[in-house]
Amino acid sequence: MISFKLNGQTVNVEAPGDTPLLWVVREHLTMKGTKFGCGMGLCGACSMLIDGVSTRTCIMPVQAVANRHITTIEGLGNPQMMSTLQNAWVEADVPQCGYCQSGQIISATALLSQNNNPSDSDIDIAMSGNICRCGTYPNVKKAIKNAAADLRNGKGRLQAVQVFDPTATASPETQEVQS
């Protein structure tokens, strides 16, 4: 059994230690916001924050995240309560097909948590690990700048919610999950 914090909740998972974190979250915990794109850590669709760092979870063994803090797109906000970046994404009409956008927002969150006034080149460096086949890059850049401005003005937060599902019946601290 491997235990870690997922969006503020402790979860215990029965899965082989070398199982990629992505599949534990998607199939064992059935949280589908984080996507599968390449399986080689090349495209960023599977990005989650591990202790605040944007990480490719399709190649991250679940045993390596024991006792660490994981944040997925669901942990940043939900349709009723979005984070500043998610709001900026909607305002700038960023998503096209939308499939890569969870990963884009996770990487942007990691960037703004370190730097609330990123230059174009800071943004390029932080976001170049996330491929978008629809080519939403111009609007991704615009949304990041808008969100950064909101944060600098004290009008925003990178995480709008602490717990993925406020209606979950499991106790907020521990959720047992079987494989």
Give contact residues for another protein (rule: CB under 8 A): 16, 19-20, 23, 27-28, 30, 32-40, 42-43, 45, 72-74, 76-79, 82, 86, 89-91, 93-102, 105, 123-125, 127-141, 179
- Whose Cβ is closer to another protein: residue 2's or residue 173's? 2
Whole-number minimum distance, CB 173 to another protein, in Å? 23
- Whose Cβ is closer to another protein: residue 45's or residue 173's? 45
- Whose Cβ is closer to another protein: residue 72's or residue 175's? 72
Identify whether the C-beta of residue 168 lies closer than 8 Å to the C-beta of residue 175.
Answer: yes
Whole-number minimum distance, CB 174 to another protein, in Å? 22
Q: What is the bridge-based pairing of β-strands 69-71 and 2-6?
A: parallel
Whole-number minimum distance, CB 67 to another protein, in Å? 22
Q: Which residues are registered as beta bridge partners of 49? A: 54, 71
What gap in Å lies between CA 176 and CA 21, rounded to an integer?
A: 16
- Whose Cβ is closer to another protein: residue 111's or residue 173's? 111
- Whose Cβ is closer to another protein: residue 42's or residue 168's? 42
Identity at 166, one-letter amino acid code: P
Whole-number minimum distance, CB 96 to another protein, in Å? 3
Whole-number minimum distance, CB 3 to another protein, in Å? 19
Q: Which of 11, 3, 107, 120 is nearest to 53 (CA)?
A: 107
Residue 136 token pair = 């939403």
State the residue for tokens 């990629």: 20
* Residue 57: partners with Cβ closer than 8 Å, 6 or more residues away: 20, 21, 22, 25, 34, 46, 47, 48, 50
